[in-house]
Structure formats: C-alpha cells, structure tokens
Structure 1
C-alpha cells in the first residue's frame, strides 16, 4: 500500500503526519521543539521540489509512506495523479492521499511563508512548530484514522487475494 500525506509544500504538516504514522513522533504527548527540528524534510523542502513525492519510510503494515507538496492545487493534482494511474492500468485501490492542511493554523502558515518563501528560518521555523504543537493531537487523530482505513483496505485486499487463490 502507498500512503501520501499531502500539504502545500511538503515541509511541515505532511512531514508531521508522516512522522507520527511512522513512529518518529509520539502519539501520547506534544513533542518539543528539537523533536520537530530533526525530522527528515521538516522545514527543508524548497519551492522547486513541490510536486515531488518524498519517501519517508515503511510502516508496521509494510506500507510505503510519502509526503507530497501540492501547492494550492491539491484537489486538481490529486485528481490528475489518480486518473493518470488508472488510465495506465495502475491499481489505485491501495493508494491513500491524505490532505493534512485542514490541521494547519494561521501561525503555521505565517511561519512556513517566513521560513520557506522569505528565507527567515530563525523566525519562521519556530512559528511553524508552535502552530503545529497547538493542533498536535488533531494530527494524531488524523493519523489514527488513516491507520484504521489502511488496515481495513489491507484486510480487504488480503481477503480478495485469498478468495482468488482458492478458485
């Protein structure tokens, strides 16, 4: 299975969600500043990399977890990716594309703009972290819902595979 956590620039909210999913961040407490700073890709993606999927790791169910920046065209890009994959014969049943932006506060948006667009990392990065800390358990809930959906899809695929093999 492939899981894509999507946001504007693949630098903040998608990184946090993917990191929670992979166990790089805790689910029972709000992480400290340094725990965010040392995450792979956190506040590092450059504008020319938007649209490039970054592999974050494999989860406990052996699913591939990615982050993907989609700028302000998330619905359009998601539709384009899925329709392209379907037209080329690629199975999209085991593909999840999760929008993480609904969990982003205006503080995180301002921080991301300051850090990534203006290059004022010393101000922007702490603001992104502060904003994410405010909504951290919303990210945990999002990931928990994704993991439930992932397990259900895998169970359905396993059942279908078992059924097909017993014909």
Structure 2
C-alpha cells in the first residue's frame, strides 16, 4: 500500500500525520516543541515544493508513506487520483493507494503560523504559533491517521481518496 497525506503546504499537518503513521511521534502524549520542529519536512517546504511527493518511510506493515502540498489547486489531487486510476485500469499499478487530506485538522493558530513563517518569513512569530497549533491538533491528526489506516485495510477499493471532512 501507498499512503499519501496531503494539505495546502505539505509541511505541517501532513508531516505530523506521516510521523504519527510511522510511529516516529508518540501517540500517548502531546509532542514537545523539539519533536515537532525535528519532524521530517516540518515547516521546511516552500511554494515551489507544491505538487511534489515526499517519501517519509515505510510503516510496520511495509507500506510506503508520502506527503504532498497541493496549494490552492482544487484539481491537483483529483488529477492525481484520475492518473492513478488509469494506471490501475491498464494493469500498470498493482498497489493500493490512499490519498488522505489532513487540512481538516489544521487549527487557526497553525494557519496563522504557516502564513507568517512560510509566506512572510517571520519565523519568530510564525514558528511558536505552528508549535502551538501542532500541540492543539495532535489528537485530531492521530485520529485521522487511525481512520486512514482503518479505511485502507477495510476497503476493497484499490484507490481511495479521503477528504476527512468529519475532522472539522
């Protein structure tokens, strides 16, 4: 299986979701500031990185975990979905693919922190807001990862796109 967590920038909730999925962050408590800031790709990606897939590792079952930022595009993820579907229909792709949107887990503090840090380059204001947001959202992100894994394992579909609106 291949899991692809996606959101606007691909550098905050997606990075945290990948870390929880891969058990790099402890689910039993809020992450520390150091753990958040040292999560792979957390607050590191820029505008030009949108649309790229970033590999984070393989989970305990050997499934690959990726993240991606989609920016303002409303067509990028559906376009990827359609391309994957075509590859499956033509017998080119055999793996199950799950696209999971982490945007519904983003708290307001993380939105503000991301804008300040990534867009305006004001890290001394943005980064503390991002850390606060990551701590606020950690349980929602964990729940989303569990839901994503559960849906992937219980669905017979080879291709799944989760909007995850129930996490708002």
Q: What TM-score does the superposition give when structure 1 sets the normalisation length?
A: 0.86
For structure 1, the residue ranges without an aligned partner over 5 or more in a row are 158-167
Q: How many angstroms apart in 1 are the aligned matches of 2:120 and 2:15?
A: 20
Flag structure 2 segments of 5+ consecutive residues without an equivalent: 159-168
Tell me the CA shift for residue 145 of structure 1.
Answer: 1.1
Counting matched residue pairs gives 155
CA distance in 2, matches of 1:146, 1:16: 14
- What TM-score results when the alignment is normalised by the length of structure 2? 0.85
Larger radius of gyration: 1
- Let me know the Cα RMSD of the aligned residues: 1.9
Which structure 2 residues correspond to residues 1-167 of structure 1 after superposition, within 5 A? 1-73=1-73, 75-88=74-87, 89=90, 90-91=92-93, 94-153=96-155
Which piece of structure 1 moves more, 87-96 or 10-19? 87-96
On the 8 A contact 2:12/2:43 being kept in 1, the answer is yes
C-alpha contact (below 8 Å) 1:110/1:127 kept by paired residues: yes
The superposition leaves residues 44-96 of structure 1 with CA deviations (integer Å, 9 ceiling, x where unpaired) of 001101110100000011111001000122x4211101212233434487111
Q: Distance in 1 between matches of 2:10 and 2:135?
A: 17
- Which structure has more helix as a fraction of its residues? 1
